[in-house]
Amino acid sequence: MALLAGFGVGILRPLTLIGLALFSFCHFALLDRVDRPARLRIAVAFAFGLVHGFGFAGVLAEMDLPRGRLVPALFGFNLGVEVGQIAVVVLIWPLLRLLSRTRAMATIAELSSAGIAGLGLFWFITRTFG
């Protein structure tokens, strides 16, 4: 989908996409606080993934990359994001395993979710209105 939007096949303006992407960041930070069916979570993740893909494609399109460089740029960026996410998980996983055995884990999870939601809301407001 990001590739299609990169070639100009999109239905939403870039500012709208950025706002929706940042809203999704906030939404997922709060998602663990509400009981939802697994199917709904999958559908919401899919929809927000499309929004993020179109938003990223809009940024790529604004960079005026030659059409022949769009696919390598998209692939390289996505590969870098995935490697970065894996590195963060590898570094944080042992700490989370230790913390999961303590009573403080629930409080840490709630504070982390609230902080991430606040950051997502801040980004959404500043990018949409500022």
User: Which domain range does residue 97 map to?
Assistant: 2-129
Chain segment 64-89, per-residue pLDDT in tens: 777 777 778 778 878 998 899 899 99
How many domains, in total, are found in the chain?
1
Q: Taking 60 as the threshold, does the pLDDT of residue 15 lie above it? A: no
* Residue carrying the six token digits 């950025």: 18
Distance CA 57, CA 7 (A): 8
Strand ranges (DSSP E) for 62-114? none
Reading phi first (left if > 0) and then psi (alpha if -120 to 50, else beta), residue 36 is in: beta
DSSP one-letter code for 32:
T
Quote the pLDDT of residue 124.
73
Other C-beta atoms lying within 10 Å of the C-beta of residue 60: 20
- pLDDT category at 1 given cuts 50, 70, 90 is very low
